[in-house]
Structure 1
Amino acid sequence: MKPFCFADGEFIPTDKATIHPSDLGLIRGYGIFDFFRTVNYQALFLEHYLDRFITSAEKTYLPLPYSREQLRQIIQDLIEKNNLEQGGIRMVLSGGVSENHFSPAEGKLFMFAENLSFPSPEKYAEGIKLLTLEYVRPIADIKTTNYTLPVWHSVHWKKLGAEDVLYHWNGWVSESSRSNFFIVKDGVLHTPDQHILMGITRKHILQVADQVVIRPISLEEVWDADEAFISSTTKVLLPVTQLDDRPVGSGKVGPVTMGILERFRELEKSLIS
């Protein structure tokens, strides 16, 4: 964590940030957040992240007391105060202190500047393992702070050498706990369309990929896929070469996956001056 954050309407030392013990974000796990990267002191895909954060606040009935322009300026000031050339910004809007300790109230906005580490080069070169998990994330289209199940379950998957999980329900896959999911079959990219968060990295992968089909994907199709990968802000695009105890495709990172990763990185470079 970097030394300065935004809280209580001002920039303060990060270790001085506080939240009321009765805030719904604490006692009910109710709140929203978003996270984006900074490259060369610039927020990458900022407008898309602001779109999602503002929409999440509206959908969760949490007042957001700042305009888009004000949020933009706070973010830029925070980057400068922390000399954040390469890193991340985390925006959090808590559920607020509610009279009945249950209904959404006027929350508290925090912004934190963070260091950011990508997965190891070996994971990009060799791929990762996912574990299947029968689960649908509540209100999946909103980026809430409710990650109780994957945080608890992560102890299990780490013991089994897995990077994360792949959610599925009634035979249909959706997403990973913190990432969107894709498969490749016969050179065509496929990605689920239901019970998912509309990831910003996913959005731009769909733009740079050659052929994409957005549709329901069955768990059986994943077993039969040629390639698979997950995408997120902090991973960009990470190949999946094993699901449970079975290899995906050849068990090696595929050419379509690596081609999309290369094009995504070129897109990033074109956006940063």
Structure 2
Amino acid sequence: MALQIYISGKYYDKENAKISVYDHGLLYGDGVFEGMRSYSGKVFRLEEHLDRLWDSAKAIWLQIPISKQEMGTVVNKTLEINGIRDGYIRLIVTRGAGSLGLDPNRTSDPQVICITDHIALYPPEFYEKGLEIITASTIRNHSAALSPRIKSLNYLNNIMAKIEGLQAGCVEALMLNAKGEVAECTGDNIFLVKKGKLMTPSLDSGILDGITRGAVLDIAREAGIEVAEMALTKHDVYIADEVFLTGSAAEIIPVVKVDSRPIGDGTVGPITLKLTKRFHQITRE
């Protein structure tokens, strides 16, 4: 059976899943989304993802037309219909169809879309041997302009940095904020380890409040690892003993070289391995 896509109360074959070309989600990136993981038929931290979706929508004055409970049901039903137990979920809410102008008051019928599929963001060897990344010249959106904590459909800022990485032969790139501090990568949060201490940029560094980021912080604290959410510089990255990235799609992936500089001894570090092992345990319990 063809993959079934949920769109505002109905299911469509993947090839027939369509919305209006006048939808402001398409015309202006006006909408919000979440990317989630399902393990053994259970969505990892579903409530946290839905809370973040509603927060993003509230921040852009977008009224989601169904309740959180109904949205959770949609997610689980779409997984079930497609027979997916270990997979990826993309949940989207658009502003709806309107005019060719910007005015959101002229839009109607916000679209709720749920896509469930399988995803392999990086090949297995990158998880085993680690990534090489560069620092992009494209900076993260200034938090006073559009908060990076809003997971909006407009990802052009991240895409431009992604292109820089790809042109340099890297699948991921590090982004700085307007102060020149480390923010996050194009699709992942970043963590450093130095002398046994785990560090990651704080939310006021202009980053997305990652769900997997939060899970890793919880795991580290439970394991007795010292944790700090703080302002970090490229220098901190270069001299780190270990670096890894986190995200719903990526999970936890090590980084062994940044801007041609080896991280630590250039191999995946012990704390990264420990946190990854525990993350795999809790997601599959």
Residue in structure 2 matched with residue 21 of structure 1 by the alignment: 21
Residue of structure 2 equivalent to 1:227: 242
Preserved CA contact (<8 Å) 2:136 2:164: no
SS in 2 for 1:73: helix
Task: Name the counterpart of 1:33.
Answer: 33
Q: Residue 91 of structure 2 aligns to which amino acid in structure 1?
A: M
- The answer to whether residue 180 in structure 2 is matched with residue 171 in structure 1 is yes
Partner of 2:125: 122
8 Å Cα contact 2:181-2:233 kept in structure 1? yes
CA RMSD of aligned residues (A): 1.8
**How many angstroms apart in 1 are the aligned matches of 2:182 and 2:283?**
29
Instruction: Answer whether contact 2:161 2:173 (CA < 8 A) is retained.
Output: no
Deviation at 1:120, TM superposition (A): 2.5
1:157 shift after superposition: 2.3
Query: 2:162 corresponds to which residue?
Result: 154
| Cα separation, 1, equivalents of 2:257 and 2:96 | 42
Q: Which residue of 1 aligns with 2:116?
A: 113
Matches within 5 A, 1:170-189: 170-189=179-198
Q: Kindly indicate whether the alpha-carbon contact (under 8 Å) linking 1:57 and 1:63 is maintained by their aligned counterparts in 2.
A: yes
3-state SS of 2:29 partner: coil
Q: Is the 8 A contact 1:14 1:112 kept in 2?
A: no
2:60 maps to which residue?
60
Alignment correspondent of 1:199: 210
User: Runs of 5+ in structure 2 lacking a partner?
Assistant: none
Asked if the contact 2:24–2:97 (Cα under 8 Å) also holds between the matched residues in 1, the reply is yes
Corresponding letter in the other structure for 1:115: H
Query: What letter matches 2:281 in structure 1?
Result: E
The one-letter amino acid paired with 2:111 is K
Deviations 1:82-123 (A, max 9, x none): 011211111111122345721334421111111122533321
Q: What amino acid sits opposite 1:162 in the alignment?
A: C
When normalised by structure 1's length, the TM-score is 0.92
Paired positions, count: 270
Distance 1:17 1:121, change over 3 A: closer
Aligned counterparts, 1:56-135, within 5 A = 56-99=56-99, 101-104=101-104, 105-106=107-108, 107-134=110-137, 135=139
Please, what TM-score do these two structures have when normalized by structure 2? 0.89
Which SS does the other structure have where 1:217 is aligned? coil
Secondary structure, aligned partner of 1:161:
coil
**Secondary structure at 1:76 match in 2:** helix
Tell me, yes or no, if the aligned pair for 1:2 and 1:114 is still in contact at 8 Å. no
Structure-2 change in CA distance of 1:168 and 1:179 (3 Å): same
Paired with 1:85 and 1:59, the residues of 2 have a C-alpha distance of: 32
- Residue 175 of structure 1 aligns to a residue in which SS? strand
Closer, same or farther in 2 for the Cα pair 1:228/1:29, shift >3 Å? same
Question: Mean Cα displacement is larger for which, 22-31 or 255-264?
Answer: 22-31
User: Letter of the aligned partner of 1:202 in structure 2?
Assistant: R
Q: How far apart, in 2, do the equivalents of 1:267 and 1:86 lie? A: 14
User: SS where residue 162 of structure 2 aligns?
Assistant: helix
Displacement of 1:151:
2.9
